[in-house]
Amino acid sequence: MLIRSNIKEYFNVFFFVFLVIVKKILGIYKYGTEDIHLIVFNNVTYLYVTSLLVLLFFLRNKLRWLFSVFLIFYTGFFIDLKYAIQPYTFPLGSNILYKQVITIACLFVVVLLFFFLIKKYFKYVLTLFILKYLVAIVFLIVLKKQEYQKVDYNTNYKAEKNCYILLFDEYPSQYVINTFLHHQDLFLDDFIVKEKFNHLKTVRSNYINTEMSIPSILYGTKSSHFKVRDAINSLSENRFTRENHFVGYSLFDAVNSKDAINNSNFIHSNNSLLTRYFFPLLIRLIDGKGHGVFYNIDQYHQKAFELLEKSSHYRSNRKQVVFIHFFTPHDQVFSKRKNILDRIEEANQFMTRAVNIINKNDPNASIVIMSDHGYRGVEVPSFYQYNGLLMYRNIDLDTLTIKKNGIVSLFDTNKI
């Protein structure tokens, strides 16, 4: 039975839970970060709601525990703390899993401090967070709903021969590899000579994150208001190659990785320790599909090469554009290659394998090898994190325009 003296605390804790949910819903609506149906109907959402109901039921009369667990795992408060701590823990090791463990260990210390404060000053801590979320909700109510800029599909790329665009996620420029990663990498020099590629050494991405840079590349225009959904559309709706036969394969393609996309939509709109880490990891362990670093990248790349092998046999008057998004050398928890230099070596092996497939099946085709952005490690100054890779063969690119406007202008010349 609930003791009458606890009624006020009982009400305040459940009122806090209510405020957090209202803030999440208002944030989704006001910022319009993703399509609402992609957020609501996916496995991460179901896990979040189900676990929250179980938590409320079993801890309904243990208010301090209910408040503590909900605050730590279900709100965005501790994920924000994680991002604040992370810059100081990342330099402690090159292994991405090690970095996460160190970060989580620091968070654990903070959690212990919060448990102490909640045990000692529960009423005051609870009141403080209620006020915090009330202010946030008021701000969202008065905030004008964000309208995304309409993307102008102005690129009119028409191929005269089959073209293969091989994108390696987060592949840095050779200057970054040599200067900041302290590795004199000769692979690109040898590869360029052997495969007769042109190499544009000074090229910058317009964006530092993949969700924005890939739509920027494929739409052929820049915008400050891209969404993850735009990345899906840029592939599945074939905006930038509408006059050609198009084959697209990416983590952001709803056809190839629907679960990963849906999870991404929810996580971007409802960030918490549970939705960011625990649920994606659980899904990965059960069916091999998680989100981000928890996605089954080995399986993903196997399918990429199978698609490249199949598509490179295509012959028709209507020329083909093939876009393959390799997820290496981007870091991930389940990668066998933990160090950035090892992952670059893996990307080099994939690059060689992909070009060999094209050489064998479609030797006269155009090839573009590029990255969506550069390496974002703390050892690289922010200015150079935009510096990426661009090599090309059998295609005429306006390199001055690309240097000036970034890789968004890659196909603006309509030359081949």
Q: What CATH number did the domain enclosing 242 receive? A: 3.40.720.10
Q: Which helix (H) or strand (E) holds 199?
A: strand 198-199
Q: Is the pLDDT of residue 350 over 70?
A: yes
β 366-370/163-168 pair status: parallel
Predicted pLDDT at 32 = 61
For residue 390, the surrounding DSSP H or E stretch is strand 390-393
Contact status, residue 214 vs residue 234, Cβ threshold 8 Å: yes
Min mean pLDDT across 77-81, 326-330, 382-386 is at 77-81
For residues 245 and 354, state if they share a domain: yes
In a domain, 148, yes or no: no
Q: Are residues 138 and 167 in the same domain?
A: no
Position 127 in a domain: yes
Is residue 368 over pLDDT 90?
yes
Confidence label for 220 from pLDDT (cuts 50, 70 and 90): low
Q: How many CB atoms lie within 10 A of CB 127?
A: 13
| Helix or strand holding residue 261 (H, E) | helix 258-269
pLDDT at residue 261 in the model: 52
Residue 277 lies in a domain: no
Per DSSP, the residues of 85-138 read HHHHHGGG-S-HHHHHHHHHHHHHHHHHHHHHHHHHHHHHHHHHHHHHHHHHHH
**C-alpha distances out from residue 84 to 77, 256, 359, Å:** 11, 34, 47
Q: What is the DSSP letter of 387?
A: B
Nearest to 181 by CA among 391, 374, 403, 406: 374
Indicate if the pLDDT at residue 75 is higher than 50.
Answer: yes
- pLDDT, tens digit, 9 for 90 and up, residues 229-271: 677 777 777 667 777 888 888 887 755 555 555 555 555 566 7
Give the per-residue pLDDT at 19: 95
Three-state secondary structure call for residue 270 = coil
Are 354 and 324 in contact, with CB atoms under 8 Å apart?
yes
- The larger pLDDT score, comparing residue 149 to residue 235, is at 235
DSSP at 296: -
Q: Judge if 169 and 198 occupy the same domain.
A: yes
pLDDT of residue 297: 84
- Predicted local confidence at residue 252, as pLDDT: 77
Residues 385 and 134: their CA atoms lie apart, in Å, by: 38
**Which residue range is the domain that position 91 belongs to?**
4-142
Residue 16 is predicted with a pLDDT of 96
Quick one: 185 and 333 in the same domain? yes
Q: Is the pLDDT of residue 69 over 50?
A: yes
So what's the pLDDT on residue 379? 84
Distance CA 226, CA 118 (A): 40
Instruction: Let me know if residue 286 belongs to a domain.
Output: no
The rounded percent of the chain whose pLDDT value lies above 70 is 78
Q: What is the pLDDT of residue 71?
A: 93
For the segment 379-394, what is each residue's pLDDT rounded down to a tens digit?
A: 888 889 999 999 999 9
Mean pLDDT of the chain: 82
Mean pLDDT of the 336-363 span: 93
pLDDT in tens, 11-29: 999 999 999 999 988 887 7
User: Is residue 170's pLDDT more than 60?
Assistant: yes
Question: For position 102, what pLDDT does the model report?
Answer: 78
Mark whether 231 and 328 lie in a shared domain.
Answer: yes
- Is pLDDT at 1 greater than 70 in this prediction? no
Structure confidence at residue 256 (pLDDT): 56
Q: What is the pLDDT of residues 271-299, one digit of tens each?
A: 788 887 788 788 778 877 676 667 788 88
Residue 46 lies in a domain: yes
pTM for the full model? 0.81
Whether residues 222 and 303 share a domain: the answer is yes
pLDDT attached to residue 232: 74
> What CA–CA distances, in Å, run from 80 to 66, 75, 104, 251, 272?
20, 10, 12, 25, 9
Task: Please tell me whether residues 105 and 189 are part of one structural domain.
Answer: no
Contacts of 361 (CB under 8 A, 6+ apart): 309, 312, 313
Q: Are residues 208 and 252 in the same domain?
A: yes
In a domain, 250, yes or no: yes
Higher-confidence residue: 21 or 38? 21
* Residues 402, 390 contacting (CB under 8 angstroms): yes
Give residue 110's pLDDT band: very low, low, confident or very high (50, 70, 90).
confident
What is the layout of strands, in order, in the sheet containing 163-168?
Answer: 198-199, 390-393, 366-370, 163-168, 320-326, 245-249
Residues 239, 105 within the same domain: no
CA distance 251 to 168: 12
> Among the three residues 107, 142, 177, which one is the final residue of a domain in this structure?
142
* pLDDT above 70: residue 157: no
Q: Are residues 252 and 215 in the same domain?
A: yes
Same domain? For 46 and 91 the reply is yes
- 103 and 250 share a domain? no
pLDDT at 2 over 50: no
Dihedral pair phi/psi, residue 369, rounded to 5°: -115, 125
Asked if residue 334 belongs to a domain, the reply is yes
Residue 345 confidence class, pLDDT cut points 50, 70, 90: very high
Structural domains in the chain (count): 2
Predicted local confidence at residue 155, as pLDDT: 57
Residue 126 pLDDT > 70, yes or no? yes
Tell me the CA end-to-end span of the chain in Å, nearest whole number. 77
Please report whether residue 273 resides in a domain: no
